[in-house]
Structure formats: C-alpha cells, structure tokens
Amino acid sequence: MEFKPGRVFLLRVPEGEDLVSFVNGFAEGRGINTAIVKGIGSLRNPVLGYYSEEIRNYKRIELMGMFELVSLLGNVSLRDGRPFAHLHATLGNANGDAFGGHLIRGEVFVAEIYIQELLGKPLVRKDRGKNLSLWDEEHV
Ligand code: ZN
C-alpha cells in the first residue's frame, strides 16, 4: 500500500497511562487511521507477548518492576472500524539485559513517542483465526 505523509506528533505520554491504550485513544481522538509509531522511555510492570505457532496464541511474558523502554516500534491500522496500535518493544533491566516482544501493556513512567500519520486508503486488520488479526494486503 502506498501512503502520503500526514500529521506528525512528538509527545510525552502522561505518567501512569497504559502505553498501548494511550496510543489507541490518541489515534482515535485525532482521527488517525494509519500511522507509524516509535518511542523511548521507561515502563513499569510491562507485559510482552510471544506468538507461539504451537498453541496458536500469545504466550504472556510478565515483567515486574521498572524497565527502560529501549525501543518502541509499531503501527496503527483499523480493526473493527477503530484505530488499533500494534506495538513491539525492547525493554532493558538494571543489568542492561534486554527482553523483547509484542507489547500487551505497560504502565508509563516516561514515554516520548513519535506518531507519523499516513494518508490514503486505511489499512484494515481482519481476524484470520489462530488469534491473529492481519492486514489484507500481503504485497503491493
Ligand atoms: Zn506483534
């Protein structure tokens, strides 16, 4: 799919917000259907997901305590007619060890995020079974 760049936002997410819910709410509030999301900061008690083909579902990785949000990368597209953020995160502990995966939730201590809106026909996610919700377009 081809898009044109739309609005660009760079902002600090308020402390205590769940990062995934915040991005969903921000996109909905600004009428953003499709976007690229990036960010850095730190999160409390984040929960990551690892998609297991074996169980056809996400295995939850629950981390306790404060973690550096070394890297947040993802996108926004439409699911059931509403903006849906798909975010992946690399998280670092006090020893510099890294954990990574699909970000299910994480309470913001600090989060500086970048949202690049993309204009064009919105990307739409559809339920594909196996607990996967994927885009229609597999190639351009
Ligand atoms: Zn994912």
Q: What digits encode the pLDDT tens for the residues 52-91?
A: 999 999 999 999 999 999 999 999 999 999 999 999 999 9
Residue 29 CA to ligand 1 centre (angstroms): 23
Is position 10 within any domain? yes
Residue 88 CA to ligand 1 centre (angstroms): 6
Is position 136 within any domain? no
Is position 93 within any domain? yes
CA angle 135, 35, 50 (to 5 degrees): 55
Percent of the chain with pLDDT over 90: 92
Is position 127 within any domain? no
Indicate which CATH number applies to the domain containing 96.
Answer: 3.30.1330.80
Residue 76 confidence (pLDDT): 98
Q: Name the domain count of the chain.
A: 1
Residue 102 CA to ligand 1 centre (angstroms): 4
Decide if 66 contacts 136 (C-beta within 8 A): no
CA angle 20, 139, 4 (to 5 degrees): 65
Residue 132 CA to ligand 1 centre (angstroms): 9
What is the dihedral sign for C-alpha 12, 18, 27, 133?
positive
Residue 87 CA to ligand 1 centre (angstroms): 6
Residues 108, 46: Cα–Cα separation, whole Å: 9
Residue 17: which domain range? Answer: 4-119
Residue 91 CA to ligand 1 centre (angstroms): 15
Residue 121 CA to ligand 1 centre (angstroms): 22
User: pTM of the entire structure?
Assistant: 0.95
Is position 60 within any domain? yes
Decide if 104 contacts 96 (C-beta within 8 A): no
